[in-house]
Structures are given as C-alpha cells and as structure tokens.
C-alpha cells in the first residue's frame, strides 16, 4: 500500500486512539460503566480503521477461497460487515455518553 493512501487516515486513527487513551484513564480512575463503554467503542473504531488499510488482501482471500462468485459481491459483503461493526461502536459511544450525562452508572 502506498504511503499517500495511509496519510489521510492517520488523523482519524490518532483521534480514535486519543479517545481510547482518555477513556482508559477515566476507566482506571473512576471505574465507571460509561468509561468502559467509551473505551470499547474507541478501540473498535481504531481497529476498523486499521482493518480498512489492509482491506485489499482480505478481499483477494474472500474472492479466492470464499463463497463469493466475484469481487463485487465480496466487496459489498465486507463493506456491509464493516459498516455494521462501525455502527455498533458508535452506538456504544452514544450509550456511554448518555449514561455519563444522565448519571445512571452502576459502579
């Protein structure tokens, strides 16, 4: 993968990792459910950014060994799965923010 394809993704990756570091610090200090949910959400988003950097070899493997008949079906299937994981991570962040604001935490 050329370097110019990685450079635009770096600020997003660093933002997710910074969010994970802050959530980790809050989770260790306050031991609250919203901090743990935020940590999990930010880590999932960071892993998905890293996965999307190396998506081409996964697509080649799915086309070669998987049940897909062509690269379009493999690309659409992988994109759908990645989108579902992204939505789940964002839902975790929303729930963490909602619990932190409402004060409904179970310690």
Q: Is residue 69 part of a domain?
A: yes
Contact residues for 74 (Cβ-Cβ < 8 A; gap 6+): 59, 62, 63, 66, 68
| pLDDT at res. 13 | 94
- As for how many domains the chain has, the answer is 1
Burial of residue 30 (number of CB atoms within 10 Å: 0-12, 13-18, 19+)? middle
Residues, the chain, total?
107
Residue 106: DSSP 8-state = -
Q: Is residue 48 part of a domain?
A: yes
Q: Is residue 14 part of a domain?
A: yes
- For residue 73, the enclosing domain spans 3-102
d(CA 24, CA 9): 23
Geometric angle at alpha carbon 14, from 74 and 60, rounded to 5°: 20
| pLDDT at res. 20 | 96
| pLDDT at res. 55 | 84
Which of 58-62, 66-70, 88-92 is most confident?
88-92
Are 78 and 55 spatial neighbours (Cβ–Cβ below 8 Å)?
yes
Q: Is residue 107 part of a domain?
A: no
């Amino acid at each position: 993968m050329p370097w110019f394809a990685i450079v635009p993704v770096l600020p997003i990756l660093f933002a997710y990792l910074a969010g994970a570091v802050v959530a980790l610090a809050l989770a260790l200090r306050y031991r609250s459910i919203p901090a743990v949910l935020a940590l999990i959400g930010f880590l999932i988003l960071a892993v998905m950014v890293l996965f999307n950097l190396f998506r081409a070899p996964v697509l080649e493997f799915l086309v070669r060994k998987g049940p897909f008949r062509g690269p379009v079906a493999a690309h659409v299937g992988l994109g759908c799965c990645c989108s579902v994981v992204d939505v789940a991570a964002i839902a975790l962040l929303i729930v963490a923010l909602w619990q932190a604001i409402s004060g409904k935490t179970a310690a």
